[in-house]
């Protein structure tokens, strides 16, 4: 029992769940996951459970470097790994002590043979003191505070001449019976000992003169120094005991993918390299980015200090007059080069029938259609108060429920009627005690009679106690129910359409509600869409149906790291939480904010990664969906967020791996950067599939071909919610067949017993797609004289449109030339 206490078990599944690095497993605390002295001694050749593998050591270093930005879950993981790291150090020192004691007993006897790193059976009679985490003897061995641990780990990582990684060395040490012990210089060739410790001359005097074995220095730990001799260093012969090898640590920033894998290799070469690789180091989840890419993390804000005017930049705007201008390529270019843009009067220019999306038409079409309702506090758009209405906060109160279109339409209409009655009462001199004057319009109109600023704020706070209901996420994906509405949206230019060959999300192959399908929002004044970035940083289209306006706030994507830090400062999770930024906090952190009004018929283009939040000024409906331009920037931001979501235990509803393989099937890419990004994702995921298949076969598990149905949705792990591509591990849970990723499957059953392994694509098919996906070199364009229409695609017989740029307002007006004559050929079209 005493010997069993030496090998304190950790979480046996810690290594297998590396893809869920910031999520506590089984709801246990770090102390529960590393039991102290409760487990039995491991069998010879087995690595103790509390030993950290290379991935966990990398994560420990990463967490220590970012201690100031960790959430509660990440801090808990840091404590767990730090605790296991101390136990690992303790275990190493304890083994050296036991070996030294065993050598003393066996000096007059033939040497005993035992497993390296584990004590012989004789030591059970006189075990060393138990090392219980938190006790005095434990803290005497290892560092007692985080700063010491940081210094120890940093020193461990700084070794330049390492030849093997820590995890590989440990596996070799505990997995073999015979160890090649690195020869160490004899005592007379070693440097002088420190701390006044002297060698034990007795052990060397008892050696035979012909013994040429070098002496090895074993050091006792301070926890066993109750016997005076145990604090001394002992000289032991190499043949007497088998010591563990000198452990050398490589830098933890070494790439996870070993050299030899690159996008220049063919699929067959990748397969051959995989078969030669070690199957013990298969990652739980494949990465979609470069092997040498740093761990995903929120970026630092740009260092340039902004003036007050720069903190409130004008919003890029385009005014359209007709369909020709809406279809001009300059409009798409304008939208793609700004964080956010407003296309004014798009509905009128394209003659869109916005009435098809009005509340009246929706009720007539499908009155019983289910919608989601958010109950929120009614307050001013530039303020956000807590429930007691005493202090400004970031947390945005919102409760979810469900109703039908018809019932919400009744609420929306009655809310409007109540407001009309209230305005009439004001004109008649009747004061209402339950005034709804906290909407932006009424505050503005009644500001002259509100008195001082404090009086206005108190009035706003008081009226803000009133709750409102926001009808959100009305699904318009069913073509049978909403055919007329969806057909009307085909009038939009191709880059803004829901379905388009140039839209990445059209290549997913199945519906992602609200992303590659249309969603509608039914609003009353004060309805809020809290701050967020779009799922996986895709672009967004939003059209205001009217009749009221909406107020928008937005910040460029380069500042999202600063907003994430402010969320953490306010104890709100950036991804999972609901938050409404305080403008003064953003300005104090040098974060600029676009602020503008969206009127009926206006289209708002939200570029990739832009952080935004919206509040309704009046009664209105909005329609929205996402698009993915085929650009390197869009794809890169998407996969970066895909990887960060894994760390944050947040589900990526866009299956980027599945999407990447469909892009490789369907399109030809001439942009080298985009090609390399997609090809890297293909290489990493196909290599991972190859490794899994080799590993599964080595365990004797049959792989069954499952295939994929038409429009079948992508699969996600039922435990950790990461995307599972191609190789599915199925297990029945509560009479349901649940998909597992490789990591969660091994966590539940290291040998994969009880799991059914399914394959969706034949490996030969993936290899063919991978090899066929090559950089496309387009043919040279014909001379301009041969194709004048290609030179100016928007030019018509009535003349070329002129683009005027208003620098002061960042507005672009696209209008036809007033002259009936054609402008000179030498006058180029100006593009802003």
Structure tokens at 69: 């930005």
Q: What would the DSSP string read from start to end of 47-116?
A: --TT---HHHHHHHHHHHHTGGG--HHHHHHHHHHHHHHHHHHHHHHHHHHHHHHHHHHTTTSPPP---T
Residue 98: pLDDT over 50: yes
Residue 32: pLDDT over 60: no
Tell which wins on pLDDT, 529 or 451: 529
**Cα distance between residue 311 and residue 592, in whole Å:** 4
Positive or negative torsion for Cα 650, 653, 657, 663: negative
Mean model confidence pLDDT for the chain: 75
- Let me know: does 760 contact 706? Beta carbons within 8 Å: yes
Spell out where 245-383 has E strands.
Answer: 317-319, 340-344, 370-377
Query: Above pLDDT 90, what percent of the chain?
Result: 50
**Cα distance between residue 66 and residue 74, in whole Å:** 10
Average pLDDT, stretch 571-596? 97
Over residues 609-644, the pLDDT tens digits come to 999 999 999 999 999 999 999 999 999 999 999 999
**Cα distance between residue 52 and residue 167, in whole Å:** 8
Tell which wins on pLDDT, 521 or 239: 521
Instruction: Give the pLDDT band of residue 50 (cuts 50, 70, 90).
Output: confident
- Let me know: does 513 contact 584? Beta carbons within 8 Å: no
- C-alpha Rg value of the chain to the nearest Å: 34
Provide the pLDDT for residue 655: 98
Give kind and range of the element (H or E) at residue 339: none
Tell which wins on pLDDT, 123 or 746: 746
- Tokens 């793609």 sit at which residue? 336
Task: Give the CB-side neighbour count of residue 820, counting CA atoms within 13 A.
Answer: 0
| Size of the chain, expressed as the number of residues it contains | 832
Positive or negative torsion for Cα 695, 701, 705, 709: negative
**Cα distance between residue 505 and residue 648, in whole Å:** 23
Spell out where 432-584 has E strands.
Answer: 467-475, 519-523, 528-532, 539-547, 550-555
Provide the pLDDT for residue 29: 36
Over residues 321-346, the pLDDT tens digits come to 999 999 999 999 999 999 999 999 99
Distance of CA 445 to the CA centre of its chain: 44
**Cα distance between residue 76 and residue 28, in whole Å:** 10
Provide the pLDDT for residue 804: 34
Instruction: Give the pLDDT band of residue 245 (cuts 50, 70, 90).
Output: low
Provide the pLDDT for residue 363: 97
**Cα distance between residue 371 and residue 406, in whole Å:** 10
The verdict on whether omega for the bond into residue 547 sits within 30 degrees of 0, i.e. cis, is yes
Residue 584: pLDDT over 80: yes
Q: What are phi and psi of 441, to 5 degrees?
A: -65, -45
Q: Could you tell me the CA-to-CA distances from 2 to 48, 141, 214, 323, 643 in Å, in that order?
A: 16, 19, 33, 84, 45
User: Within 10 Å of residue 248's Cβ, how many Cβ atoms?
Assistant: 15
Residues 6 or more apart from 271 whose CB is under 8 A from it? 690, 763, 767
- Let me know: does 33 contact 87? Beta carbons within 8 Å: no
Average pLDDT, stretch 520-548? 98
Residues 6 or more apart from 680 whose CB is under 8 A from it? 263, 288, 289, 290
Query: Above pLDDT 70, what percent of the chain?
Result: 66
Distance of CA 38 to the CA centre of its chain: 36
Q: Could you tell me the CA-to-CA distances from 769 to 260, 266, 660, 726, 776 in Å, in that order?
A: 21, 11, 11, 14, 15
Give kind and range of the element (H or E) at residue 561: helix 560-569
Over residues 78-88, the pLDDT tens digits come to 878 888 887 88
Domains located in the chain, CATH noted: 2-179+220-227 (no CATH), 272-290+637-772 (2.10.110.20), 320-447+459-630 (2.60.120.650)
Tell which wins on pLDDT, 201 or 544: 544
Provide the pLDDT for residue 431: 59
Most confident of 11-20, 74-83, 402-411: 402-411
Tell which wins on pLDDT, 781 or 19: 781
Residue from 302, 273, 263 nearest 681 by CA: 263
Provide the pLDDT for residue 278: 78
- Let me know: does 221 contact 195? Beta carbons within 8 Å: no
Residue 457: pLDDT over 70: no
Helices (H), 264-390: 267-276, 308-311, 323-326, 329-336, 346-350, 359-365
Over residues 258-312, the pLDDT tens digits come to 546 888 899 999 999 988 887 777 888 888 988 778 888 999 999 999 999 999 9
Tell which wins on pLDDT, 352 or 186: 352
Q: What would the DSSP string read from start to end of 3-64?
A: HHHHS----TTTTTTGGGTTS-GGG--HHHHS-SS-SPPPPTT---TT---HHHHHHHHHHH
Over residues 632-641, the pLDDT tens digits come to 999 999 999 9
Provide the pLDDT for residue 74: 81
Over residues 365-393, the pLDDT tens digits come to 999 999 999 999 999 999 999 888 889 99
Average pLDDT, stretch 385-406? 92
DSSP state of 510: S
């Amino acid at each position: 029992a005493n010997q069993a206490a030496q090998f304190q078990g950790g979480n046996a599944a810690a290594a297998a769940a590396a893809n869920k690095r910031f999520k506590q497993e089984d709801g246990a605390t770090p102390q529960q996951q590393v039991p102290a002295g409760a487990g039995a001694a491991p069998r010879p050749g087995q690595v103790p459970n509390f030993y950290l593998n290379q991935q966990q050591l990398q994560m420990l270093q990463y967490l220590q470097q970012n201690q100031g930005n960790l959430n509660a879950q990440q801090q808990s993981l840091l404590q767990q790994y730090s605790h296991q790291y101390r136990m690992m150090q303790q275990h190493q020192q304890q083994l050296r002590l036991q070996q030294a004691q065993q050598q003393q007993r066996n000096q007059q006897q033939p040497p005993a043979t035992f497993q390296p790193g584990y004590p012989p059976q004789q030591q059970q009679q006189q075990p060393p003191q138990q090392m219980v985490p938190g006790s005095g003897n434990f803290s005497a061995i290892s560092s007692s505070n985080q700063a010491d641990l940081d210094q120890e780990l940093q020193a461990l990582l700084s070794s330049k001449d390492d030849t093997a990684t820590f995890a590989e060395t440990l596996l070799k040490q505990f997995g073999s019976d015979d160890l090649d012990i690195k020869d160490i210089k004899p005592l007379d060739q070693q440097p002088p000992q420190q701390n006044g410790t002297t060698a034990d001359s007795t052990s060397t005097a008892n050696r035979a003169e012909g013994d040429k074995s070098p002496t090895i220095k074993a050091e006792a730990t301070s926890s066993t120094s109750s016997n005076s001799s145990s604090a001394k260093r002992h000289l032991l012969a190499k043949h007497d005991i088998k010591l563990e090898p000198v452990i050398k640590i490589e830098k933890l920033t070494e790439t996870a993918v070993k050299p030899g894998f690159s996008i220049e290799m063919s699929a067959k070469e990748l397969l051959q390299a995989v078969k030669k690789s070690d199957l013990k180091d298969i990652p739980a989840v494949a990465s979609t980015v470069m092997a040498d890419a740093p761990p995903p993390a929120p970026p630092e804000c740009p260092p340039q200090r902004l003036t007050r005017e720069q903190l409130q930049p004008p919003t890029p705007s385009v005014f359209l007059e007709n369909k020709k201008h809406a279809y001009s390529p300059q409009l798409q270019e304008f939208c793609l080069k700004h964080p956010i843009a407003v296309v004014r009067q798009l509905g009128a220019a394209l003659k869109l029938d916005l009435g098809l999306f009005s509340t009246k038409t929706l009720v007539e079409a499908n009155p019983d259609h289910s919608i989601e309702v958010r109950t929120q506090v009614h307050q001013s758009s530039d303020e956000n108060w807590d429930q007691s209405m005493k202090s400004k906060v970031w947390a945005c109160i919102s409760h979810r429920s469900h109703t039908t279109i018809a019932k919400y339409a009744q609420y929306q209409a009655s809310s409007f009627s109540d407001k009309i009655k209230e305005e009439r009462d004001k004109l008649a001199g009747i004061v209402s005690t339950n005034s709804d004057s906290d909407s932006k319009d009424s505050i503005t109109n009644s500001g002259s009679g509100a008195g001082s600023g404090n009086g206005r704020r108190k009035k706003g706070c008081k009226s803000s106690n009133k709750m409102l209901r926001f009808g959100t996420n009305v699904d318009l994906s069913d073509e049978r129910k909403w055919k007329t509405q969806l057909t009307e949206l085909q009038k939009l230019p191709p880059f803004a359409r829901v379905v388009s060959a140039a839209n990445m999300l059209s290549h997913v192959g199945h519906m992602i509600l609200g992303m590659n399908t249309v969603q509608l929002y039914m609003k009353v004044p004060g309805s809020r869409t809290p701050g967020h970035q779009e799922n996986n940083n895709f672009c967004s289209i939003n059209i205001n149906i009217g009749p009221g306006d909406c107020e928008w706030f937005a910040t460029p994507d380069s500042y999202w790291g600063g907003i994430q830090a402010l969320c953490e400062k306010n104890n709100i999770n950036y991804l999972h939480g609901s938050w409404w930024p305080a403008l003064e906090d953003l300005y104090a952190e040098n974060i600029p904010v676009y602020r503008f009004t969206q009127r009926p018929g206006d289209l708002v283009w939200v570029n990739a990664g832009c952080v935004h939040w919206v509040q309704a000024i009046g009664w209105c409906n909005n329609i929205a969906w996402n698009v993915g331009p085929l650009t390197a920037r869009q794809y890169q931001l998407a996969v970066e967020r895909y990887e960060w979501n894994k760390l944050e235990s947040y589900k990526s509803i866009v299956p980027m791996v599945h999407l990447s393989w469909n892009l490789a099937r369907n399109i030809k890419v001439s942009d080298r950067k985009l090609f390399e990004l997609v090809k890297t994702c293909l290489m990493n995921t196909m290599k991972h599939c190859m490794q899994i298949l080799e590993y599964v076969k080595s365990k004797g598990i049959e792989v069954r071909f499952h295939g994929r149905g038409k429009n079948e949705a992508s699969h996600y792990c039922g435990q950790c919610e990461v995307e599972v591509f191609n190789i599915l591990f199925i297990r029945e849970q509560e009479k349901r067949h649940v998909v597992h990723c490789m990591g969660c499957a091994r966590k539940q059953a290291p040998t994969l017993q009880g799991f059914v392994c399914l394959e969706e694509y034949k490996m030969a098919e993936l290899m063919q797609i991978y090899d066929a996906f090559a950089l496309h070199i387009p043919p040279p364009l014909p001379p301009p004289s041969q194709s004048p229409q290609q030179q100016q695609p928007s030019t018509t017989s009535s003349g070329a449109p002129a683009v005027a740029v208003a620098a002061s307002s960042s507005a672009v007006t696209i209008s036809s030339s007033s002259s009936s004559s054609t402008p000179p050929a030498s006058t180029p079209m100006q593009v802003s």
